[in-house]
């Protein structure tokens, strides 16, 4: 977080591939910055394109934070750090000597799915696991509506993501935290309803996902067929499909695990409400 309040000018960003300053940028479907239109077009031709003003969303963020009753909050995007790129739907917030994370949910996500995610996080936080539960608004509501979206505020967890080069040396420690999380979720039924893509994978769903992969020179039909066969043999056997469904972490990767000096890794909140 910067120590001084952000200006009305949207923050400057550089393309992580060519280094040019960005006025328009391409992001993934999950909002992660890819780069300038020219660089991203070579590998991500269908990614959403945002202007610098749309990326910052200064006025919408201010209106959303007003609902949470924070005293003079200061909001900004996370800084660019090496291979860790900021996200279009996430802001870091400082208020009253405390740090928070503001999340803007995609407009196509149903209220019941947000309620489902918050139910999972509240359950884990109640068991003192290292996840960030949402901050309640007066009256107990866990999110606010504004600028055509829904917004939730989370107390920031300590720590920071590891660079990809360091991940392999610490993945077993992160896996221990993941195991504790999954043990805590055994037998737990969240409130609300999961977003359909969070549901258990099937071969039909795998085929639909592969059919949507972009046509890339190094992604040959033979390679796609081989990947499909390996996934089918490893993850879609009768024995695995007979396992009872449970809530699991949906995106266990270096960018979704935070590290501090404590004994456990911290799991980011936005990827915890998945069903397998």
Q: What is the pLDDT of residue 268?
A: 53
Query: What is the widest separation between alpha-carbon atoms in the chain?
Result: 58
82: pLDDT strictly greater than 50: yes
The four Cα atoms 136, 137, 141, 146 give a dihedral, to 10 degrees, of -120
Question: Is residue 11 very low, low, confident or very high in pLDDT (cuts 50, 70, 90)?
Answer: low
How far apart CA 194 and CA 184 sit, in angstroms, is 18
pLDDT of residue 96: 84
In this predicted structure, the answer to whether residue 44 has a pLDDT above a threshold of 70 is: no
**Phi then psi for 98, rounded to 5 degrees?**
-120, 155
Q: Above 70 in pLDDT, residue 77? A: yes
171-196 pLDDT tens trace: 888 899 899 999 999 999 999 999 98
Query: Burial code of 102-136, b = ≥16 C-beta within 10 A, e = fewer?
Result: bbbbeeeeeeebbbbbbbbbbbbbeeebbbbbbbe
Residue 53 has pLDDT above 60, yes or no: yes
- CA distance to 4, 27, 28, 87, 104, per residue, from 22 (Å): 23, 12, 16, 14, 22
Instruction: Report percent pLDDT > 90 for the chain.
Output: 39
97-136 pLDDT, tens digit per residue, is 899 999 999 888 999 999 999 999 999 999 999 888 899 9
**pLDDT tier at 272 (50, 70, 90 boundaries)?**
very low
Which pLDDT score is estimated for 220? 85
State pLDDT tens for residues 13-39: 899 889 999 999 999 877 888 889 988
**Which range (42-46, 157-161, 188-192) has the least confidence?**
42-46
**Mean pLDDT across the chain:** 83
pLDDT band at 201 (very low <50, low <70, confident <90, very high): confident
Q: Tokens 């209106």 belong to which residue?
A: 63
Q: Stretch 73-80: mean pLDDT, rounded?
A: 88
Q: Cβ distance 47 to 34 under 8 Å?
A: yes
pLDDT of residue 126: 92
Q: Tell me: pLDDT of 275 over 60.
A: no
What number is the average pLDDT over the span 241-249?
A: 83
Euclidean distance between the first and the last CA atom of the chain, given in angstroms as a whole number: 35
CATH class label, 1-56: mainly beta
- Percent of the chain whose predicted confidence (pLDDT) is above 70: 87
Supply the pLDDT for residue 150.
94
């Amino acid at each position: 977080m910067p120590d001084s309040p952000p200006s009305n000018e949207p923050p400057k960003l550089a393309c992580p591939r060519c280094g040019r300053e960005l006025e328009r940028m391409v992001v993934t479907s999950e909002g992660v910055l890819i780069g300038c239109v020219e660089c991203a077009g070579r590998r991500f031709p269908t990614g959403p394109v945002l202007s610098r003003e749309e990326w910052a969303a200064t006025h919408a963020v201010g209106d959303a934070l007003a609902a949470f009753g924070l005293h003079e909050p200061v909001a900004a995007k996370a800084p660019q750090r090496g291979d860790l790129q900021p996200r279009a739907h996430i802001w870091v917030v400082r208020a009253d000597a405390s740090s928070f994370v503001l999340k803007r949910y995609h407009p196509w996500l149903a209220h019941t799915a947000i309620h489902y995610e918050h139910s999972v996080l509240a359950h884990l936080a109640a068991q003192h696991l290292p996840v960030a539960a949402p901050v309640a608004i007066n009256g107990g509501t866990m999110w606010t509506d504004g600028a055509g979206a829904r917004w939730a505020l989370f107390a920031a967890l300590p720590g920071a993501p590891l660079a990809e080069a360091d991940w392999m040396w610490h993945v077993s420690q992160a896996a221990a935290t993941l195991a504790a999380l999954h043990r805590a979720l055994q037998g737990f039924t969240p409130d609300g309803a999961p977003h359909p893509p969070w549901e258990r994978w099937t071969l039909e769903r795998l085929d639909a996902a592969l059919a949507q992969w972009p046509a890339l020179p190094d992604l040959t039909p033979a390679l796609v067929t081989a990947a499909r066969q390996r996934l089918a043999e490893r993850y879609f056997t009768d024995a695995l499909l007979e396992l009872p469904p449970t809530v699991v972490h949906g995106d266990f990767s270096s960018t979704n695990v935070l590290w501090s000096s404590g004994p456990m890794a911290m799991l980011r909140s936005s990827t915890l409400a998945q069903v397998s």
